[in-house]
Amino acid sequence: MSAEEVLERIAAAVRDCTKCDLYRNTKNGVPGEGDPHAEVMFIGEGPGYHEDRQGRPFVGPAGAFLNELLASVGLDRSTVFITNVVKHRPPENRDPLPEEIAACGDYLTEQIAAIDPKVIVTLGRFSMARFFPGARIGAIHGQAKLIDGRIVVAMYHPAAALHQASLKQTVIDDFKRAIPAALTEATRLAAAGKLSAPKKQDDDDQSPPPPQQMTLF
């Protein structure tokens, strides 16, 4: 199956999903959108009011700021893929619960596998926790690690900057520094054959597996 077909199958499953209770009282599931072959994938927290109405990620105020941030590093949202940790809106925009994140987890895993991005950008605490368990966003924002053959960059959620004016410049600066640096590093690592998710080792393959976690910047 092509990446397009896998993503469409996931999107259909998300729209009909009843794996947890979040779908109750929502208008639309929000699977995510963008280029099925994107080099960069952004993972937010969960749909808000506007996303629920439209069935599309990051289309409210946080989305407008994300579009500005993307433009600041020369990216258009049609060239990246944008999704969330949970695909239905939590009531009143409350934090997603661990069991809701777990119920939605396979969708994200399958989306990452289908798109095979070189760079994953986590937006906020909940997507960060999937890749940097136990980390604090205040400590690692703007930092990148090589995790399972992809560069993962931890960023503040764009909405945090809208709620806390003092964070706005930090988010802008993190974006402008870390996204181009991650893409440059991804190109370098790919040329050296050190990027892309590790494939299953053949039984007779004696070469050591690549390092699973490496701090880049």
Query: Footprint of ligand URA on this chain (CB under 6 A)?
Result: 44-48, 51, 57-58, 62-63, 84, 159
Beta strands, E only, 87-134? 119-123
Half-sphere exposure of 126 (CA within 13 A, CB side): 23
Q: Tell the smallest beta-carbon distance from residue 167 to ligand URA (Å).
A: 15
Provide, rounded to whole angstroms, the least separation between the CB of residue 57 and ligand URA: 4
Q: Which residue, 46 or 142, has its beta carbon nearer to ligand URA? A: 46
Distance CA 190, CA 193 (A): 5
CA separation, residue 116 to residues 36, 37, 38, 120, 171 (Å): 9, 7, 8, 10, 25
Closer residue to ligand URA, CB minimum distance, 157 or 195: 157
| Residues forming a β-bridge with 146 | 151, 214
Nearer to ligand URA, 62 or 186 (CB): 62
Closest contact distance (angstroms) between CB of 142 and ligand URA is 18
Measured between alpha carbons, how far is 156 from 27 in angstroms, rounded to an integer? 27
Minimum CB distance to ligand URA, residue 59 (Å): 7
Yes or no: say if 127 and 82 are a contact pair by the CB < 8 Å rule: no
In the block, which residue shows the tokens 């987890």? 105
Q: Are 87 and 47 in contact (CB under 8 A)?
A: yes
Tell me which residue has its CB nearest to ligand URA: 44
When the beta carbons of 19 and 58 are compared against ligand URA, the nearer one is 58
| CB of 143 vs ligand URA, minimal distance in Å | 20
CB of 71 to ligand URA, least distance (A): 18
In the sheet with 150-155, reading across from the earlier edge strand, the strands are 33-34, 81-84, 40-44, 119-123, 150-155, 144-147, 213-215
Nearer to ligand URA among residue 25 and residue 212 (C-beta): 25
Q: CA torsion angle for 166, 171, 177, 182 (degrees, to 10)?
A: 150
